Amino acid sequence: MSAVTRVANRSSISSLLARWRSLSSAVPPSGTNDNNNKSHAPPHFRLNPLPSPPPPNEKKRQVQWVFLGCPGVGKGTYASRLSNLLGVPHIATGDLVREELASSGPFSSELSEIVNRGQLVSDELIISLLSKKLAAGEANGETGFILDGFPRTIKQAEILEGVTDLDLVINLKLQEDILLEKCLGRRICNQCGGNFNIASINIKAEDGSPGIIMAPLLPPANCLSKLITRSDDTEAVVRERLRIYNEMTRPVEEFYRSRGKLLVFDLPGGIPESWPKLLHALNLDDYEDKQSAAA
């Protein structure tokens, strides 16, 4: 796995948390940016196939990746698959929010109002939930992560850059009308917690744009009568979330593009079409086969 393993060369997760808390009040407001101090690296990212050798007695850390993309694009699906493949924790801030809502914790009432309006959760709330998750991971000996849903603002990206050296930022792309259809088709089994999607997408190729086919992800028979829709998956809320994403998070894409860490991946279809091509883009073509052979 030499193509994706890197050596710990900045701070441990413990110091990450300490610096995170101190920097969260010191970074400039969201949207402020010193463009004169940015490097202008080319937009295409290529993984370094030859990592530096670890210093004596220093443990290699796991990958530290981030997934970006509009709501409903599939960040959680592909981040989870890579998490299982690479043995790296998958931390989805959306799941952290839902866990807090379900726990009736100190932020649950405030979070409930924000989520139901389709608005973004504040930096302070997200950082508090994420810090708690990272601290728990450190206690279990974890040295890396695949973040899904963070950072969403320039301020969050600056905080994260100040405390860790990300290896890669993967930006998943899909046209907006498909995103809307996917979000409205999402279903959850209220018994097993499984995530499914009843949307059947078949966009024909036209005007030089390729066609896209995404088969529904249907539940097993025992879950059919137990499917529910997320309260925030209404057309009005989804459109508002997409609007906010375009306004607040697209600048984050440029933030990482200018640093040469952004990999833009246009989803060519559903999981069967997209997964092998994503592995190829990440230089992991043979990794899944090697893992299966070693099992």
| Catalytic annotation, pick one of 186, 187, 257, 261 | 186
250 is catalytic: no
| Catalytic annotation, pick one of 6, 61, 133, 152 | 152
Q: Report whether 153 contacts 147 (CB < 8 A).
A: no
Q: Which single residue is written with the structure tokens 């833009």? A: 264
- Name the packing angle between helices 13-23 and 154-163 (round to 10°): 140
| Catalytic annotation, pick one of 75, 182, 257, 261 | 75
241 is catalytic: yes
Rounded to whole angstroms, the Cα distance separating 23 from 11 reads 14
Rounded to whole angstroms, the Cα distance separating 5 from 52 reads 10
- What residues contact 191, with CB distance under 8 A and at least 6 apart? 223, 226
Closest alpha carbon to 146 in 80, 95, 51: 80
Residue 92, class by beta-carbon neighbours within 10 Å (0-12 exposed, 13-18 middle, 19+ buried)? Answer: buried
Give the pair of three-digit tokens for residue 69: 């993309």
| Catalytic annotation, pick one of 226, 230, 239, 277 | 230
Rounded to whole angstroms, the Cα distance separating 120 from 93 reads 11
187 is catalytic: no
230 is catalytic: yes
46 is catalytic: no
Rounded to whole angstroms, the Cα distance separating 126 from 141 reads 23
Q: Dihedral angle at the C-alpha atoms of 230, 232, 234, 237, nearest 10 degrees?
A: -170
Phi and psi at residue 68, to the nearest 5°: -110, 165
| Catalytic annotation, pick one of 182, 187, 241, 257 | 241
Which residues are known to be catalytic?
75, 152, 186, 230, 241
